[in-house]
Amino acid sequence: MPPTVRDPSRSSINAPTSYLSNVSNFKIIESTLREGEQFANAFFTTEKKIEIAKALDDFGVEYLELTSPAASTQSYNDCKAIVGLGLKAKILTHVRCHMDDARLAVETGVDGLDVVIGTSSYLREFSHGKDMQYIIDTATEVIQYIKGEGLEVRFSSEDSFRSDIVDLLNLYRAVDKLGVNRVGIADTVGCASPDQVAELVRTLRGVVSCDIECHFHNDTGCAIANAYAALQNGATHVDTSVLGIGERNGIPSLGGFIARMYAADKEHVKAKYNLPKLREIENIVADAVGVAVPFNNYITGYCAFTHKAGIHAKAILNNPSTYEILRPEDFGMTRYVAIGHRLTGWNAVKNRVDQLGLGLTDSDCKRVTNKIKNLADIRPLSLDDVDKLLRMYGQAMDTDSHHAILDSIDTPDQITDM
């Protein structure tokens, strides 16, 4: 029998699949225009918000979450402007659990309200100062009003992972009975780990019948892993922002979350989202907030599909799946094999020789590779440097002076200055 062909984007170590899992059935609530506005450098004009909203809609996110209309007059007007675009994505706004905020949000014409109130002892004492009974009573009033207006409603606790579990479940049970579309859990300070997320979401799934949304901060580097753990255990919606921007260290980046979900179910992600659009969106947002896309950014960073070590390069040239869990072509990206360094291998150099159409033998390629490695001990060579060296060597073969050409070059600057 022929060997079983595995999807190279999947791990061969199979995690147990829970009947609760929504890894292949999730929705993105894209919060760049809400959480992202809380990033230290962020200031979005109305025009920029519209540009970002349209780009995210083209990408295919299911929801766009906007800053509360109660935040400022311009925030109110921006909500109305984005609602008026007629996008495919549903438009949500994030509001405090307060009737005044809810009424203002309804006026803007949004599709739904994301209602939030702090439930941890820290926030109850030092933020709003209310007890759990007050929270339940106020939530009931606000939720009933929103539902009466025919809008979608999510109710979320804030600082869920530092809240008393009994208080938390009683609150969620109460709002679920009111018919909310989703309850939300929020790791507001980024303290949770994937196993803690799994435990809370699994427990909550047994308490409520509605959908479960998750909002994870990245203070301790677990935001994407926590989002994945949540989906594995019954969550249905995940909050993201472009480049992960947000309060402090932000939340799961859209690109990073997409990378994780692609590795879990590539065909599902490819079918749902316009993946090549990701790079454009990230460039728009990076420019708007005055930062560069990180070199090691998921998918679009300039190192994401760059291969350097000789052993890696040989394998990549034979079969890209050897060292790539993501196919750059699916994201409109290309891979690059770096060759002008001391770690290079002759297979990578031979590949470049073939690209340039030079008639060098394997023996020639190995000889030039040794020269590149020696020169790169002084400093790395640019691709232009390598190409010059290869072309000079190839041309010198006509006069049988190619060995002498190599021997005459002692420093990278000799090539650069030619």
User: What is the Cα 187 distance to its own chain's centre?
Assistant: 17
Indicate which residue of 237, 307, 312, 341 is catalytic: 312
* Cα dist from 260 to 102, 136, 155, 240, whole Å: 35, 36, 27, 13
Classify the C-alpha dihedral 14-16-18-23 as positive or negative.
negative
* Residue pair 307/338 in contact by the 8 Å Cβ criterion: yes
Place of tokens 């450098």: 41
DSSP per position, 134-199: HHHHHHHHHHHHHHHTT-EEEEEEESGGGS-HHHHHHHHHHHHHTT-SEEEEEETTS---HHHHHH
The 10 Å Cβ neighbour count of residue 56 is: 25
Tell me whether residue 307 is one of the annotated catalytic residues. Answer: no
Q: Are 198 and 228 in contact (CB under 8 A)?
A: no
CB-CB neighbours of 7 under 10 Å:
12
| Helices and strands of the chain, counted as H and E runs | 17, 10
Q: Which sign, positive or negative, has the C-alpha torsion 8, 10, 11, 17?
A: negative
Under DSSP, the state recorded for 343 is T
Question: Are the CB atoms for 210 and 178 separated by under 8 Å?
Answer: no
As a dihedral over the C-alpha atoms of residue 403, residue 407, residue 411, residue 416, rounded to 10 degrees, the angle is -40
The span from the CA of 344 to the CA of 312, in Å, is 10
Active site residue ranges: 312
